[in-house]
Amino acid sequence: MRKKYYWGLGWLTLVAIITLAVTSADASRVRSVLPTPFNPSRTTSTTAVFSPTTLNQTIQHYPDLARLISSDSPLSPATATVQPGLQTTLSRNLHNGALVTSPNMIPPGMTLAGRYRLITAYDATGQTQSVIYVQNRRTNRLENTVLLRGKPHVGGIAYDPRHRRIWLCSHRRNHGLIASLPLATVHRFNPVTMRAVHYQQRWLLPNLSNASMLTYHHQALYVGQFKSGHPTLMARFPLNTAGHPIAAVPTANSNPTHTHRLQRAVSDWQSNLPANLQGITFYRQYALCSQSYGQHASKLVILKMAAASAVPAPTVIATYRLPPQLEQITVHGHRLHLLYETGAAAYRQQQPDAIDRVLTISLSRLLD
């Protein structure tokens, strides 16, 4: 009886060895055709942090939001899209350039560009490069993670559809700065073989101490300066037929070296808007603004456009109370897309009403 047991054990061991060999061979064949930017050990996450039940409870805490979201299917992919990268993000270590995954990304900026939804993020610990998540806005599939130079906050991102160009917020030497790259770059970029994306243009904004808000509207870039508790200084920078800002003419008192290295953009309008704005977008005769700071509830602020001009008047005509830490907002069609940063590891334990999805709301209900 014991001999039969040993014989059976030996036979099972042999079968296990053969099975393992076949499995390993199959795995090798599969591994060779995986996309190189995404492998099992180094990926940008695409799974939700919170359950649908938790998200729905958060929405119900804010009657304005519950009313504005589609009542038919409030948690469908069309109205609540999972934000990528909140658990892990493919990036590079700023100290040694090694490819790593960071669990500390915070997403402040979002725009829609062609078939893509582009979301910016920066590392809360400052250890890895800032990124752009590239999602297919029709399928919500993550298509790429684009690495930016350094660790800019990238609080705003905009898209110029006429020239198929992406614009990003940054800063330099106590001045706001905007940089651009072609839309095609986000598809071609390979985070495994490339260290960082190359900017097509970089422009200094001498009349802004920082650039934290950005949007495109009627062949112009609108850039906002954020200072906690102070009015938001907003400036408009028109674009020429080539899609470039208008350059300042060097003066006799300007630093020629600095001027040649980085062109200065000229604004044709600036004004003070309500304090603590995080994002702005335009729809018909309205300017829609996200207003938030800290753990207090956010506000969606509606401004009327000034008569016979493409600039928002500072007069508020309506406000809506929404969950805290609402960041950039953008319009597509007749819906408004809302980005929150509370799903990030730095905030999700501190904020009882955290959100890890891009939410969309009805503009007809908002402006009714």
pLDDT for 60 equals 92
Sheet containing strand 298-305, strands side by side: 277-283, 286-291, 298-305, 312-322
pLDDT for 124 equals 95
Q: What is the largest distance, in Å, between two alpha-carbon atoms of the chain?
A: 103
Burial class (CB in 10 A: 0-12, 13-18, 19+), 260: exposed
% of the chain beyond a pLDDT of 70: 84
Q: Which two tokens stand for residue 28?
A: 């090798």
Chain-centroid distance, C-alpha 134: 9
Mean pLDDT of the chain: 85
Sheet containing strand 131-136, strands side by side: 105-113, 116-123, 131-136, 142-147
Chain-centroid distance, C-alpha 265: 24
Check whether 18 has a pLDDT greater than 80: no
How far apart, in whole angstroms, are the C-alpha atoms of residue 314 and residue 271?
8
Buried b (16+ CB within 10 A) or exposed e, 304-323: ebbeeebbbeeeeeeebebb
Check whether 22 has a pLDDT greater than 80: no
CB atoms within 10 A of CB 150: 11
10 — pLDDT class (breaks 50, 70, 90): very low
Burial class (CB in 10 A: 0-12, 13-18, 19+), 250: middle
pLDDT for 261 equals 75
313 — pLDDT class (breaks 50, 70, 90): confident
2 — pLDDT class (breaks 50, 70, 90): very low
Check whether 28 has a pLDDT greater than 70: no
pLDDT for 70 equals 64
- Spell out the SS3 assignment of 74-116: CCCCCCEEECCCCCCEEEEECCCCCEEEECCEEEEEEEEECCE
Domain ranges of the chain: 50-366
pLDDT for 249 equals 75
How far apart, in whole angstroms, are the C-alpha atoms of residue 55 and residue 50?
7
How far apart, in whole angstroms, are the C-alpha atoms of residue 83 and residue 356?
6
How far apart, in whole angstroms, are the C-alpha atoms of residue 176 and residue 187?
27
How far apart, in whole angstroms, are the C-alpha atoms of residue 365 and residue 68?
6
pLDDT digits (tens, 9 = 90+) for 47-83: 999 999 999 999 999 999 999 986 555 567 678 999 9
Note whether 368 and 345 are within 8 A (CB): no
pLDDT digits (tens, 9 = 90+) for 85-125: 999 999 999 999 999 999 999 999 999 999 999 999 999 99
Q: Which CATH number fits domain 50-366: 2.120.10, 1.10.10, 3.30.70, 1.20.120?
A: 2.120.10
- In angstroms, what is the C-alpha Rg of the chain? 24
| Residue count of the chain | 368
Nearest one of 196, 156, 162 to 178, comparing CA atoms: 156
